[in-house]
């Protein structure tokens, strides 16, 4: 439940509608190039990727990518990083990869994800899907598909809450 210092951007039904729209856009983009290999970035990119795959009725399992050891800001994020499992149930070489994350901000997470992905093979093409693009890029990256784009001041944070990780579906903005 959002506290009084939070502003709700998407409630559960709005979040579901955004995911439906993104799934439709993914389906249109797949076209004759074949299906994407969907890869979710730990933590909240994974359930978003799973939901997209379900909406697309994809028969293939999604990939799960942990980027903790690839972060250039690791010392500012945590004293002891928790390394999670990376699982790619398909070859990366020559694949058309759809990288999925919850919030695109500085671009550092995506940069780390690309480094991790390219250590595992050489995809034909990588495209990025972000649920929310909050602006504030430090690295020149942009999402190919995005659920919501907005400019959020640096003293605020976008929090994506998902049933799978947080017990509810909601996207909020909160003061730091």
Q: Phi/psi class of residue 131: alpha, beta or left (left: φ > 0; alpha: ψ in -120 to 50)?
A: alpha
- The pLDDT value given to residue 172: 98
Q: Where are the domains of the chain?
A: 6-175
pLDDT at site 73:
65
Tokens of 128: 């990025």
How far is CA 106 from each of CA 46, 101, 116, 132, 137, rounded to the nearest angstrom?
Answer: 20, 13, 17, 12, 4
Q: Can you say whether the dihedral through the CA atoms of 162, 12, 109, 121 is positive or negative?
A: positive
H or E element, residue 48: helix 45-55
- Contact indicator for 144, 127 with CB cutoff of 8 Å: yes
Segment 3-41, tens digit of pLDDT: 668 999 999 999 999 999 999 999 999 876 779 999 999
Token match 């149930």: residue?
A: 89
pLDDT at 80: 61
Tokens 């993104």 map to which residue? 22
CATH architecture label of 6-175 = 3-Layer(aba) Sandwich (3.40)
């Amino acid at each position: 439940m959002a506290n009084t210092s939070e502003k709700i951007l998407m409630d559960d039904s709005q979040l579901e509608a955004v995911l439906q729209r993104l799934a439709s856009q993914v389906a249109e983009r797949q076209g004759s190039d074949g299906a994407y290999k969907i890869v979710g970035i730990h933590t909240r990119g994974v359930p978003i990727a799973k939901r997209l795959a379900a909406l697309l009725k994809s028969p293939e399992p999604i990939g799960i990518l942990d980027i903790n050891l690839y972060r250039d800001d690791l010392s500012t994020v945590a004293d002891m990083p928790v390394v999670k499992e990376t699982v790619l149930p398909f070859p990366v070489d020559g694949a058309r990869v759809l990288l999925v994350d919850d919030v695109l901000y500085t671009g550092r997470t995506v940069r780390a994800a690309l480094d991790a992905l390219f250590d595992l093979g050489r995809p034909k093409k990588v495209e990025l899907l972000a649920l929310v693009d909050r602006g504030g890029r430090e690295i020149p990256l942009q999402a190919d598909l995005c659920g919501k784009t907005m400019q959020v001041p640096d003293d605020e944070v976008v929090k994506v809450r998902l049933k799978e990780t947080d017990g509810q579906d909601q996207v909020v903005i909160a003061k730091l």
